[in-house]
Structure 1
Amino acid sequence: MHHDTPLITTIVGGLVFAFALGALALRLRLPPLVGYLTAGILVGPFTPGFQADTVLAPELAELGVILLMFGVGQHFSIKDLLAVKAIAVPGALAQIAFATLLGMGLSHFLGWSPGEGLVFGLALSVASTVVLLRSLEENGWLESEDGKIAVGWLVVEDLVMVITLVLLPAFAGMLNGGQIALSWSQLGWTLAITMAKVAAFVALMLLVGRRFIPWMLEQIVHTGNRELFRLGVLATALGVAYGATQLFQISFALGAFFAGMVMAESPFSHRAAEESLPLREAFAVLFFVSVGMLLDPEVLLKDTAVLLATVFIIVIGKSAMAYGIVRLFRRSHHTSLRIAASLSQIGEFSFILAGLGISLGLLSARGQALILAGAIVSILLNPMMFALAERYAARSTAKA
């Protein structure tokens, strides 16, 4: 008897196509990432043949984001986060502002409204969690000082986007989105509530989670049951991420990151990271497949010039600003190039912001398509940006 199994179909189709095209990309001496994105395009709704579920795929990809950020949090202590705040906070804020202004400038040239330009620019300003962390891991930089600066920068960007997603509906009326405009006191109250929720979550994790989660892991280890330990790790990562979203309106990624940070207090944190690695890798692949599914190839042909300008803002504009900021803090040329390469792409928060912009009437279908296509192209170019950063850094070192 035939059963309708969209979940199984999406997982099997996504992984099989990703494996085949990832292997082909590796054979052609290209990053497997290229194969994963191509697999997404092939199983997406814009190409004929096999089609994965466009609703389930992003949700499965979100699991990859959660597990990846959880693993990163296990290698990143509160002390590490505070150590880079002096550069990460002003750096991320300045880079977001610069990229947003560039996006608004392009939108003004295209004749878009200020509201659409703001959403478009913000979507181009925030880097992808999955792409950045995966690149740092592949290059062995995740636990280096450069990697810690990049991760701290990413955390600040994510926090800014969390606040943006909360405030954008409130400002929609002022931005001609067809919504009722709120007063300044109401807007201030909304911002205060959002910041209070973030602070409450962080306090809860540091005061309660920091004691409970390591204690829980220790109790599970004493049972000697490896299966229960693995289940406890996954339940902690997914449970905290989900709870952070439902109770505090924090993103899944940030919730999982803080869960990993407090688990790092346990002597079994390295074992926990190893146990979650297989699922983390599998769902990270599904993330790239889901990104590929969003791309309508016709955008590459219909709006080529504007797409190139969008990619220029993401890959060159953001990178140049990040490089300049890091240099202003008297970091080395090598470190500045690495941070710039890390941030030269966009991803999941950009998609969420574009979707919200569409629902509020602030963003057109053309703007959303350019954001999606810009994300795909920038992700494909990201390995090349890392290679160029290393090449120029090595050349500068040789000359010195």
Structure 2
Amino acid sequence: MAHDTPLIATIVVGLSLAFLFGTIAQRLRISPIVGYLLAGVAIGPFTPGFVADQGLANELAEIGIILLMFGVGLHFSMSELLAVRTIAVPGAIVQIASATVMGLVLAAGFGWSVGAGVVFGLALSVASTVVLLRALQERRLVKSDQGRIAVGWLIVEDLVMVLTLVILPAIAPLLGSQSSEAAAASAQPGGLALALAITLLKVVAFIAVMLLFGRKLIPAILHHIAHTGSRELFRLGVLTIALGVAFIAAKLFGVSFALGAFFAGMILSESPLSQQAANESLPLRDAFAVLFFVSVGMLFYPYIVVENPLRVLATVAIIILGKSLAAWLIVLAFGHGMRTALLIAASLAQIGEFSFILAGLGVTLKLLPVEGRELILAGALISIMLNPLLFLLVEKYNDKVAAAPDAAAGTNPPLATAKSRSEIAYVTPKTDHTVLIGFGRVGGIVGERLIAEGTPLFVMDDRDETAAALKSRGVDAVGANAVTDLASANIKAAKRLVVAIPDCFEAGQIVAQARVANPGLKIVARAHSDAEAKYLKDYGASDVVQGSRETAAAMIAALDADPAGSASGAT
């Protein structure tokens, strides 16, 4: 019997194609976001074949926006922003203003209204959080000075866009909106000022409620759930807080889902359980974020690249050249070096999720023509695809400067990019040594024992501070991800490999690479279950230590040591 299941079809086909195209994009060293957007194009109304339900896709996208903004709030760090406030705050504001003016001028050339130009320019001014953070993480720059400036800059951009999403509907009549709501507001005497005042009052009321009550209530609820010991309830509680606060914000205070979710995440970020909340909500956040990008891709009219190539080119030029040039000049004007300026410029030379949200709101308010949204989507696709190339050019420049004979005499401090690249390219000269992957709770104990014994040791840990601490003690160590940089360990010449990280999937990849590189290598790994132990064995581990079995064996040994069951500890 046939079933009409548009929701299931939209989710299944959308996620399946997103997985396929995202994997291809990753293989090509392009952000998977490009693949997700192309998946949306494939199931959209402008391409042949299956067409997903646009209405349902938009509903799913709303959940994606809520969870995306919740994640932004969870990772919002006032301390990080304050640390670079002297450059990030004025720099981001000036750069947003510059890009908005460029978009306004370009829109005027297209014959659009001032309101369309403002929305268009704002959409081109804000970089993608996902793309920027991933680019910095891949190059191990998040904790560098340049990375902190880029992240702080991004936080300011996000805050400005959150405020824009709240204020734009209220000032839409002033910008020439033709929507029915805008017309009704402008028709009444003082209607625009009244609408703006009411909107701001609602926002202030919501913020006050969140700060006065939410700051205590939300962490308390989560703390109570955590004490139940149920991971399932904890995960459900986190999602309920994210979706519930966003829904209440929209229904009771009339503010956007995005603002409500952002504040829910920001309040929760102050809790000691924030990291666990982020980890537990991550799978669902990722899934719905993918559906958000798919739904955005469904709106894209791909033929605009052929029909209006000059407009697409001009849009991309603002994103990659105009916006980056503005950021570059701003960073230099604030006294930072050329290499820092280039890194910030490359980081911001793309647009993403906030641009899509703003473009959708602009079309809904009848401020931005549909063509404007299509140009923004085209600009996003092309800029995200080209962003790795920009980083590569910056890295080549840094390598050239670092290799110059007079590099040490330059006025710029050493760039973290060059340091990171040389660290990753480093290969330990040790032979017949033990390689230890991970220096955490388990790896740290193993490592300290090996260090005490004087065993030739090389340590890889993905935390730079851990590697730095080991180096200060004279231990050969590198801060890198062993999945991608195992070559640093000189595995071919190693005698033993200890994989002490808890992630079984990553451990399997490391074991497999090591076994291929050195078939005779002794490999010891850790597992949490029989299934994980078998998985690691299948990939080539010599021995797998399962935590639960070792704990049970130790408990049995303790019982066997006192067969009479004497109560030596009793009084």
- Which letter maps to 1:238? L
1:319 aligns with 2:324: yes
Which has the higher relative contact order, 1 or 2, with Cα contacts under 8 A spaced 6 or more apart?
Answer: 1
Q: 1:32 to 1:117 in 2, by over 3 A?
A: closer
- Greater mean deviation of Cα atoms: 120-129 or 233-242: 120-129
C-alpha distance in 2 between matches for 1:51 and 1:97: 39
Q: 1:264 to 1:115 in 2, by over 3 A?
A: closer
- Which letter maps to 2:332? R
| SS class of match (1:49) | coil
C-alpha distance in 2 between matches for 1:57 and 1:31: 22
In percent, how many aligned pairs have the same letter? 56
Match of 1:169 in 2: 172
- Which letter maps to 1:229? F
1:148 aligns with 2:147: no
Give how far 1:94 is off. 2.1
Q: 1:200 to 1:395 in 2, by over 3 A?
A: farther
**Deviation readout 1:136-193 (Å, 9 max, x if unpaired):** 5555555652353133222332134224422342214499999475799654444444
Q: 1:96 to 1:154 in 2, by over 3 A?
A: closer
C-alpha distance in 2 between matches for 1:248 and 1:381: 41
C-alpha distance in 2 between matches for 1:195 and 1:102: 28
Match of 2:211 in 1: 206
Note the 1:1-400 alignment, pairs <5 A: 1-136=1-136, 145-173=148-176, 179=183, 181=186, 186-358=191-363, 361-399=366-404, 400=407
Give how far 1:342 is off. 3.5
Give how far 1:16 is off. 0.8
Q: Indicate the RMSD between aligned Cα atoms, in angstroms.
A: 3.2
- Greater mean deviation of Cα atoms: 7-16 or 359-368: 359-368
C-alpha distance in 2 between matches for 1:394 and 1:254: 42
- Which letter maps to 2:236? L
Q: 1:115 to 1:209 in 2, by over 3 A?
A: closer
- Greater mean deviation of Cα atoms: 29-38 or 223-232: 29-38
| SS class of match (1:223) | coil
Give how far 1:302 is off. 0.5
- Which letter maps to 2:10? T
In 1, are the aligned partners of 2:87 and 2:149 still within 8 Å (CA)? Answer: no
- Which letter maps to 1:327? L
* Displaced runs of 4 or more, over 6 A: 174-178
- Which letter maps to 2:223? E
In 1, are the aligned partners of 2:115 and 2:176 still within 8 Å (CA)? Answer: no
**Deviation readout 1:275-319 (Å, 9 max, x if unpaired):** 111112222222332232222121010000111001111222112
C-alpha distance in 1 between matches for 2:189 and 2:81: 33
C-alpha distance in 2 between matches for 1:184 and 1:326: 45
In 2, are the aligned partners of 1:179 and 1:360 still within 8 Å (CA)? Answer: no
TM-score (norm 2): 0.62
Give how far 1:106 is off. 1.8
Give how far 1:44 is off. 1.3
> Quick check: which one's helix share is greater?
1
- Which letter maps to 2:169? V
Aligned pair count reads 400
Give how far 1:129 is off. 4.5
- Which letter maps to 1:74? L
In 1, are the aligned partners of 2:31 and 2:384 still within 8 Å (CA)? Answer: no
TM-score (norm 1): 0.86
**Deviation readout 1:52-71 (Å, 9 max, x if unpaired):** 22222233234333333333
| SS class of match (2:54) | coil
C-alpha distance in 2 between matches for 1:393 and 1:203: 47
Give how far 1:349 is off. 4.2
Structure 1 residue runs without a partner (length 5+): none
C-alpha distance in 1 between matches for 2:275 and 2:77: 13
C-alpha distance in 2 between matches for 1:364 and 1:218: 47
C-alpha distance in 1 between matches for 2:388 and 2:373: 24
In 2, are the aligned partners of 1:333 and 1:393 still within 8 Å (CA)? Answer: no
In 2, are the aligned partners of 1:65 and 1:129 still within 8 Å (CA)? Answer: no
In 1, are the aligned partners of 2:114 and 2:175 still within 8 Å (CA)? Answer: no
C-alpha distance in 2 between matches for 1:175 and 1:27: 45
Q: 1:337 to 1:157 in 2, by over 3 A?
A: farther
C-alpha distance in 2 between matches for 1:207 and 1:397: 52
**Deviation readout 1:24-53 (Å, 9 max, x if unpaired):** 333444443333222222111111112222
- Which letter maps to 2:153? A
- Which letter maps to 2:5? T
- Greater mean deviation of Cα atoms: 213-222 or 121-130: 121-130
Which is greater in Rg?
A: 2
C-alpha distance in 1 between matches for 2:215 and 2:283: 25
Give how far 1:134 is off. 4.8
C-alpha distance in 2 between matches for 1:65 and 1:30: 23
Q: 1:75 to 1:93 in 2, by over 3 A?
A: closer
Q: 1:35 to 1:358 in 2, by over 3 A?
A: closer
